[in-house]
Amino acid sequence: MTDTITVRRATIDDLDDLAAIDRAGFEEREQWSRQAWADELAAADRVVLVARDTEGLAGAISIARQFDTVDLLRVVVAQRSRRRRLGERLVHEAVWHVRDADRVLLEVRHDNAAALMLYARLGFRAIDRRPDYYGPGLHAVVMQSDLPWEALS
Ligand SMILES: CC(C)(COP(=O)(O)OP(=O)(O)OC[C@H]1O[C@@H](n2cnc3c(N)ncnc32)[C@H](O)[C@@H]1OP(=O)(O)O)[C@@H](O)C(=O)NCCC(=O)NCCS
């Protein structure tokens, strides 16, 4: 149940778990390394959150803020915790930290049905398409949602 899950800012102590949940959640060519996650944690413009339950890391998210635009860079939920609205919760909690920005942007692979459904449910709309962004035949859908979100006020 997501209500037994604690969401907080990630620290360097979460690094191994972040790399592990990423490996489990993404195909090899799209995985972020331990160093990439370390860079996320070190970057001043990032909000990196982790969701933990008694079994360990259940999910993670990283967003970046540049001026009035927020980029949703990564969201991943452990298989055992999926379809319990944790992905939705992580997006809400991360965006809450930058809620005075104007918009949230993201890129998602055109065939990632779960993520496309999640973002559509959160109110994102497709605004562009980047052919072959993730490799040959693997296009990116660029999505945007304008802030503020009523759910965050
Ligand atoms: C995408 C991901 C983060 C979703 O996490 P989640 O916690 O399972 O999502 P939620 O439970 O918050 O889903 C909220 C809504 O999104 C939609 N959704 C989520 N996963 C879905 C799926 N597999 N199929 C269809 N709809 C889905 C549903 O509308 C769902 O609401 P519902 O369960 O009441 O129908 C998760 O599947 C994941 O980690 N995938 C691998 C990493 C990834 O692709 N990240 C996104 C990269 S852009």
The CB of 141 under 6 Å from ligand 1? The reply is: no
The CATH number fitting domain 2-152, selected from 3.40.630.30, 3.40.605.10, 3.90.1530.10, 3.40.47.10 = 3.40.630.30
Name the nearest CA neighbour of 98 among 143, 59, 58, 62. 62
Q: Which residues of 72-83 are buried (b: 16+ CB within 10 A; e: fewer)?
A: bbbbbbbeebee
How far is the centre of ligand 1, averaged over its atoms, from the C-alpha of 76 (Å)? 9
Q: Could you tell me the pTM of the whole model?
A: 0.96
pLDDT for 120 equals 98
Structure tokens given for 106? 């993201």
How far is the centre of ligand 1, averaged over its atoms, from the C-alpha of 115 (Å)? 5
Asked if residues 126 and 143 have their Cβ atoms less than 8 Å apart, the reply is: yes
Distance CA 62, CA 10 (A): 9
How far is the centre of ligand 1, averaged over its atoms, from the C-alpha of 84 (Å)? 9
Radius of gyration of the chain (CA): 15
Strands, DSSP E only, in the chain? Answer: 6-9, 46-53, 56-66, 69-77, 103-109, 125-130, 140-146
pLDDT for 3 equals 57
The pLDDT averaged over each successive group of 10 residues in the chain (153 residues) is 83 98 96 97 98 97 98 98 98 97 98 98 98 96 96 79
